[in-house]
């Protein structure tokens, strides 16, 4: 049976999170009473695809869940969203990837403790080319590098744009760089991966050395910075009452893919992505505050921005 055509295919992580809200972090060896505890569905690629799906795109997830209660929880969360799971699988006798996320009530900043069983890794041999090329966009997190590399090569051959959310410096992740069109890495990733601290030089180097169409960084409350067509585009973040920053970057990437597939200009895509990420910070959990396009557009029109002058000056 031929693969159904979708808008976006995502290859990478899902996770079942335990979110622990605390009033503050004690000194090492101390104690702190928990304000609240909840189970939440998360994971970089899974959450980005949920964002795409809620915005009206058709999404396919390529990845594995464990067969424990946490894996069932994650699988059901994706089924409810209507994501195509025909190429996802459940691994027998294996726990799902988990995260214990400690959220500071005063700032909303989160600290993540996590683990992933090696049996959840996706290999290149397990991929089906049609499942990837029957799409308009491929989204990767670089976790299973060889599988991501195979998928990215197929996408490049088919003329499908590759978007990457790189956060962890996995072994040999640099092999992916020549096959990425839109790199939106965390602020710490590129300095760690390249050994260069200057964000402007790093992004220019990624464009020139690897031929990336638009390498960029997400900058937390400062927004996002992207280098494309010989110039920098900076989009400041939005000022909101932050409850939990978990999943903000994942939602940003899902919104970015949505704007990209609608053909929006880069500055509008980044503003929209920042607005969607800001809303998600106003609720607990990786997917707790995913809003509608209309709500994001309203925030873009009337919201207050957190402008970092260094980035703004460079993008003029």
CATH number for the domain spanning 193: value is 3.40.1190.20
Q: Per the domain annotation, does 110 fall within a domain?
A: no
Q: What is the CA angle 44-134-256, rounded to 5?
A: 40
Residue 306 CA to residue 315 CA, distance in Å, equals 15
Q: Per the domain annotation, does 1 fall within a domain?
A: no
- Residue 269's domain comprises 8-14+43-97+118-314
Report the pLDDT value the prediction gives residue 165, as an integer from 0 to 100.
Answer: 97
Q: Per the domain annotation, does 33 fall within a domain?
A: no
Residue 303 CA to residue 310 CA, distance in Å, equals 21
Report the pLDDT value the prediction gives residue 196, as an integer from 0 to 100.
Answer: 87
Backbone angles phi, psi at 15, to 5 degrees: -155, 150
Q: Per the domain annotation, does 189 fall within a domain?
A: yes
Q: Per the domain annotation, does 235 fall within a domain?
A: yes
Q: Per the domain annotation, does 109 fall within a domain?
A: no
Average pLDDT of the chain is 96
Structural domain count of the chain: 1
Q: Per the domain annotation, does 3 fall within a domain?
A: no
Residue 31 CA to residue 127 CA, distance in Å, equals 46
- 183 with 164: CB under 8 angstroms? yes
H or E stretch at 306? strand 305-306
Report the pLDDT value the prediction gives residue 1, as an integer from 0 to 100.
Answer: 62
H or E stretch at 294? helix 293-302
Report the pLDDT value the prediction gives residue 313, as an integer from 0 to 100.
Answer: 84
Q: Per the domain annotation, does 205 fall within a domain?
A: yes
In three-state secondary structure terms, 38 is strand
- 246 with 110: CB under 8 angstroms? yes
Residue 21 CA to residue 102 CA, distance in Å, equals 6
Report the pLDDT value the prediction gives residue 25, as an integer from 0 to 100.
Answer: 87
For the chain, residues with pLDDT lower than 50 are none
Report the pLDDT value the prediction gives residue 311, as an integer from 0 to 100.
Answer: 87
Question: By C-alpha distance, which of 303, 309, 287, 296 is closest to 38?
Answer: 287
């Amino acid at each position: 049976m031929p693969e159904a055509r979708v808008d976006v295919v995502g290859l990478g992580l899902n996770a079942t999170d335990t979110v622990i809200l605390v009033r503050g972090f004690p000194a090492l060896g101390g104690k702190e009473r928990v304000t609240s505890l909840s189970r939440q569905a998360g994971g970089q690629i899974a959450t980005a695809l949920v964002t795409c799906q809620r915005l009206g795109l058709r999404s396919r997830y390529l990845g594995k869940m464990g067969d424990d209660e946490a894996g069932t929880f994650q699988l059901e969360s994706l089924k409810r969203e209507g994501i195509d799971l025909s190429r996802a699988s459940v691994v027998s006798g294996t726990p799902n990837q988990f995260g214990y996320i400690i959220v500071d009530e005063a700032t909303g900043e989160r600290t993540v403790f996590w683990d992933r069983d090696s049996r959840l890794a996706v290999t290149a041999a397990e991929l089906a080319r049609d499942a990837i090329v029957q799409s308009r966009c491929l989204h990767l997190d670089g976790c299973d590098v060889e599988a991501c590399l195979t998928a990215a090569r197929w996408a490049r051959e088919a003329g499908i744009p590759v978007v990457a959310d790189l956060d962890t410096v996995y072994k040999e992740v640099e092999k992916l760089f020549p096959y990425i069109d839109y790199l939106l890495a965390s602020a710490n990733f590129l300095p760690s991966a390249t050994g260069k601290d200057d964000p402007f030089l790093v992004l220019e180097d990624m464009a020139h050395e690897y031929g990336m169409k638009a390498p960029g960084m997400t900058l937390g409350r400062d927004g996002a910075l992207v280098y494309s067509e010989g110039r920098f585009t900076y989009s400041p973040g939005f000022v909101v009452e932050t409850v939990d920053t978990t999943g903000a970057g994942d939602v940003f990437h899902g919104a970015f893919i949505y704007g990209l597939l609608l053909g929006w200009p880069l500055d509008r895509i980044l503003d929209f992505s920042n607005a969607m990420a800001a809303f998600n910070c106003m609720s607990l959990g990786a997917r707790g505050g995913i809003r509608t396009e209309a709500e994001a557009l309203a925030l873009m029109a009337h919201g207050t921005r957190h402008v970092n002058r260094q980035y703004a000056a460079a993008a003029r």
